[in-house]
């Protein structure tokens, strides 16, 4: 008779451990979701800050236009190959415009590849 009692006790203990395991798994999933949300928010905040202040002196950034070419009547806007960057609409773009900001304090020029606006990427975008 004791054999059945031990076996029943082990079965009850196993059931209890399985319930606790499921509870812990759901807790881990909720923590992972919260971590993912916090990391995304932190990344968006860091991205927004990088466009607002200079990384060298924390001065204010102002937009500037940088062009290539010698003809001042028909300047060529700078673009950069983005074959390694994914387009937000899906697929790849061949080039994206280079956006430039200059620091109002130290004069350092910050260049960014603007892959968020593929409609203004010029010829070859979306191919």
CB 79 within 8 Å of CB 96: yes
Distance CA 90, CA 121 (A): 15
Q: What is the pLDDT of residue 46?
A: 79
Q: Is 112 helix (H, G, I), strand (E, B) or coil?
A: strand
Taking the whole predicted model, whether its pTM rises above 0.75 is answered as: no
pLDDT at 1 over 60: no
> Which class for 94: exposed (0-12), middle (13-18), buried (19 or more C-beta within 10 A)?
middle
Distance CA 93, CA 126 (A): 5
Distance CA 83, CA 95 (A): 7
pLDDT at 77 over 80: no
């Amino acid at each position: 008779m004791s054999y059945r009692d031990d076996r029943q006790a082990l079965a009850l203990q196993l059931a209890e451990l399985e319930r606790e395991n499921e509870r812990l798994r759901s807790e881990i999933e909720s923590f992972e979701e919260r971590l993912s949300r916090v990391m995304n928010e932190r990344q968006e905040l860091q991205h927004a800050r990088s466009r607002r202040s200079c990384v060298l002196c924390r001065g204010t950034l102002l937009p500037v236009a940088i062009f290539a070419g010698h003809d001042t009547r028909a300047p060529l806007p700078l673009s950069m190959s983005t074959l390694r960057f994914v387009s937000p609409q899906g697929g790849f773009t061949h080039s994206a415009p280079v956006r430039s900001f200059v620091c109002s304090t130290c004069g350092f020029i910050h260049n960014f590849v603007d892959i968020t606006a593929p409609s203004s990427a010029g010829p070859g975008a979306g191919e």
